[in-house]
A and B are shown apart, each in its own frame.
Chain A
Amino acid sequence: MPDPRKLGIGALIVALLIVLPMMISSSFALSVMNQIGIAIIFALAFNMLLGQGGMLSFGHAVYFGLAGFVTAHVINGMHVDAFPYIPVTLIPLVGGIAGLFFGIVVGFVSTRRAGTAFAMISLGFAELVTGLTLIIVFFFGGEEGVQTDRWVREEWFGITYGPDIQVYYLIAAWCVIAAILMYALTRTPFGRMSNAVRDNPERTQFIGYNTHRLRWLAFALSSFFAGLAGALHAINVEHVGFETVGLGQSAVILIMVYIGGTGHFAGPILGAILITLLNAYLSDVSPAWYLYLGLIFVLIVMFAPGGLAGLIMMHEPIRRTAPYLLWQMAPAYGAALGTSLVGLAGAIGLIEMIYFRSTTVSLDSALVLYGIELDTGDIWPWLICAALGAAGGYGCKMTYPRVAEAYSAAMHEARALVTT
Chain B
Amino acid sequence: MRIFGILACVVGLVAGGFFATSNSSAHAVETVKIGLIEPLSGPIAAVGTDALQAMETAAEQINTSGGVLGGRMLEIVPLDNAMSAEKTTQQLKKAVDLGLSFIAQGIGSNHALNIIQFIGKHNKRNPDKAMLFLNHSAITTAFTNELCSFWHFRFDANVDMKVAGLVTQMGRDVGIKKVYMLNQNYAYGKSFQAAAHALIKERTPNIEIVGDELIVPFGKTQDFTPFIAKIKASGADTVLTGNWGPDLVRLIKYAAGANLPVQFYTIYGGLTSSVAGYGADAHKISLKQINEYHENDGNIAADALAFGNAYLEKYKDTWYSDRYRWLVGMLAAAIDKAGSDDPVAVGQALEGLTFPGPLGEVQMRASDHQIQTPLMVSSLSRDYKMPIMYKGNNFKIAFATDGVINREDTTLPTTCDMQRP
Q: Which residues of A contact B (CB under 8 A)?
A: 3, 5-6, 9-10, 12-13, 16-17, 20, 23-33, 35-36, 131, 134-135, 137, 142-145, 147, 149, 162, 164, 233, 237-244, 248, 264-266, 269-270, 273, 277, 280-281, 283-284, 287, 289-290, 309, 312-313, 316, 359-363
Question: Quick one: which of B46, B90, B187, B218 contacts A35, CB cutoff 8 A?
Answer: B90
20 A-B pairs within 8 Å (CB atoms) are namely A9-B7, A29-B18, A131-B216, A134-B218, A142-B186, A142-B187, A143-B110, A237-B86, A239-B85, A243-B83, A243-B84, A266-B10, A270-B6, A270-B10, A273-B13, A280-B90, A287-B41, A287-B45, A361-B52, A361-B315
Which parts of B84-111 form the interface with A (CB within 8 Å)? 84-87, 89-90, 93-94, 96-97, 109-110
Least CB separation from A151: chain B residue: B121
Write the B1-26 contact mask toward A (1 if CB under 8 angstroms, else 0): 11111111011111101110110010
Extra pairs beyond A9-B5, A33-B14, A240-B85 (15, CB < 8 Å): A12-B8, A24-B22, A25-B22, A25-B25, A26-B22, A134-B185, A135-B185, A137-B187, A145-B85, A149-B121, A243-B83, A243-B85, A283-B80, A289-B41, A363-B392
Question: Quick one: which of A23, A36, A312 contacts B19, CB cutoff 8 A?
Answer: A23
Report the bound CA distance from A24 to B113 in whole Å: 29
Q: Which residues of B contact A (CB under 8 A)?
A: 1-8, 10-15, 17-19, 21-22, 25, 40-42, 45-46, 49-50, 52-53, 56, 79-80, 82-87, 89-90, 93-94, 96-97, 109-110, 113-114, 117-118, 121, 125, 140, 185-188, 190, 216-218, 220, 314-316, 392
Distance to closest chain A CB from B268 (angstroms)? 15
Cβ B53 vs Cβ A143 within 8 A: no
Distance to closest chain B CB from A170 (angstroms)? 16
Cβ A31 vs Cβ B10 within 8 A: no
The 9 closest A-B pairs by CB, nearest first: A24-B22, A361-B53, A142-B187, A28-B94, A9-B4, A134-B186, A143-B186, A27-B93, A266-B3
Distance to closest chain A CB from B227 (angstroms)? 17
Residues of A within 8 A of B125 (CB): 162
Instruction: Say yes or no: A36-B14 contact (C-beta < 8 A), given A131-B216, A239-B89, A287-B41.
Output: yes
Residues of B within 8 A of A17 (CB): 11
Residues of B within 8 A of A233 (CB): 86
Pick from B4, B19, B97 the residue with the most CB of A within 10 Å: B4
Distance to closest chain A CB from B138 (angstroms)? 10
Cβ A144 vs Cβ B113 within 8 A: yes
Report the bound CA distance from A266 to B11 in whole Å: 12
Report the bound CA distance from A13 to B6 in whole Å: 11
Residues of A within 8 A of B13 (CB): 273
Distance to closest chain A CB from B258 (angstroms)? 26
Residues of A within 8 A of B117 (CB): 147, 238-239
Cβ A281 vs Cβ B21 within 8 A: yes
Question: Quick one: which of B18, B53, B96, B110 contacts A144, CB cutoff 8 A?
Answer: B110
Cβ A241 vs Cβ B85 within 8 A: yes
Residues of B within 8 A of A30 (CB): 93
Distance to closest chain B CB from A294 (angstroms)? 12
Cβ A277 vs Cβ B17 within 8 A: yes
Cβ A10 vs Cβ B4 within 8 A: yes
Cβ A6 vs Cβ B216 within 8 A: no
Distance to closest chain B CB from A23 (angstroms)? 7
Report the bound CA distance from A289 to B40 in whole Å: 11
Cβ A26 vs Cβ B10 within 8 A: no
Cβ B3 vs Cβ A264 within 8 A: yes
Cβ B1 vs Cβ A3 within 8 A: yes
Instruction: Say yes or no: A360-B8 contact (C-beta < 8 A), given A26-B21, A143-B186.
Output: no
Cβ B6 vs Cβ A26 within 8 A: no
Question: Quick one: which of A164, A237, A284, A363 contacts B314, CB cutoff 8 A?
Answer: A363
Instruction: Say yes or no: A31-B90 contact (C-beta < 8 A), given A237-B85, A239-B117, A287-B40.
Output: yes
Residues of B within 8 A of A10 (CB): 4
Report the bound CA distance from A241 to B85 in whole Å: 7
Cβ B216 vs Cβ A134 within 8 A: yes
Residues of A within 8 A of B392 (CB): 363
Cβ B12 vs Cβ A16 within 8 A: yes
Residues of B within 8 A of A23 (CB): 15, 18-19, 22
Cβ A312 vs Cβ B94 within 8 A: no
Distance to closest chain B CB from A39 (angstroms)? 10
Residues of B within 8 A of A277 (CB): 14, 17
Report the bound CA distance from A143 to B242 in whole Å: 15
Distance to closest chain B CB from A184 (angstroms)? 13
Least CB separation from B3: chain A residue: A266
Question: Quick one: which of A5, A16, A28, A359 contacts B11, CB cutoff 8 A?
Answer: A16
Least CB separation from A291: chain B residue: B41
Residues of B within 8 A of A264 (CB): 3, 6
